[in-house]
Amino acid sequence: MRLLLVHPSALMYSEIFLRLEPLGLERVAGAAREAGHEVRIVDLQVTGTRELAREFASFRPDTLGVSLNYLANIPEAIGLAHAAKRAAPDCFVFFGGHSVSFVAEDVLAQAEGAVDAVVRGEGEPAVAPLLTAVRDGGVQDVPGIVTLAGPGPEPRMLHGIDSPVPARDLTRHRRRYFIGELDPVRVDRVHARLPVMTAGDGWLRSRWLWCERFVRTDRLVLVRWSRGGARRLMLRDADSGHAEVAPEVLAANPALRRLVDAGVRVSLEQGRLRQRSVGAASALPRDRPRDRAGDLQGLGPEQHRSVVSSRRAHPSSGSGRERGSMAPDQRPGTGCSLKTRD
pLDDT averaged per 10 residues in sequence order, the chain, 342 residues: 95 76 95 96 93 95 95 94 96 96 96 96 95 94 95 91 92 82 44 69 80 88 81 87 85 85 89 61 47 32 35 39 36 48 48
How far the first Cα of the chain sits from its last, in Å, is 19
* Predicted local confidence at residue 213, as pLDDT: 86
Give the per-residue pLDDT at 339. Answer: 55
Instruction: Show the beta-strand stretches assigned E in 101-181.
Output: 117-119, 145-147, 150-151, 178-179
Peptide bond into 164 cis (omega under 30): yes
Give the per-residue pLDDT at 287. 45
For residue 131, which of 120, 118, 142, 121 has the smallest C-alpha distance?
142
Position 340 scores a pLDDT of 52
State the pLDDT at residue 1.
94
Predicted confidence at residue 225, as pLDDT, reads 87
Decide: 260 and 203 in contact? Cβ < 8 Å: no
341 and 55 Cβ atoms separated by less than 8 Å = no
Question: What's the half-sphere exposure (Cβ side, CA atoms, 13 Å) at 121?
Answer: 17
Beta strand 63-67 with 92-96 is parallel
DSSP string, 11-75: PTTGGGTEE---HHHHHHHHHHHHTT-EEEEEETTTS-HHHHHHHHHHH--SEEEEE-SSGGGHH
Residue 252, C-beta contacts closer than 8 angstroms, at least 6 positions apart: 296, 299, 304, 306
Strand duo 2-7 + 63-67: pairing? parallel
Task: Please name each of the domains of the chain with its CATH number.
Answer: 2-172 (3.40.50.280), 188-311 (no CATH)
Q: Output the pLDDT for position 202.
A: 87
**What is the pLDDT, as a whole number, of residue 177?**
84
Distance CA 232, CA 212 (A): 16
In single-letter form, the type of residue at position 317 comes to S
Angle, nearest 10°, between helix axes 74-87 and 49-59? 40
Count CB atoms within 10 A of the CB of residue 59: 19
Residue-level pLDDT at 320: 40
Question: What's the confidence (pLDDT) of residue 30?
Answer: 96
Position 312: which residue type?
Answer: R
Q: What local confidence, expressed as pLDDT, does residue 302 receive? A: 35
The helix (H) or strand (E) run that includes residue 338 is none
CB distance 76 to 333 below 8 Å: yes
The model's pTM is: 0.58
Q: Are 324 and 44 in contact (CB under 8 A)?
A: no
Q: Which residues pair with 237 in a beta bridge?
A: 220
Torsion of CA 47, 50, 54, 56, to 10 degrees: 80
pLDDT for res 274: 66
Please name which of 272, 334, 342, 237 lies closest in space to residue 42, comparing C-alpha atoms.
Answer: 334
Query: How many secondary structure helices (H) and strands (E) does the chain include?
Result: 9, 16
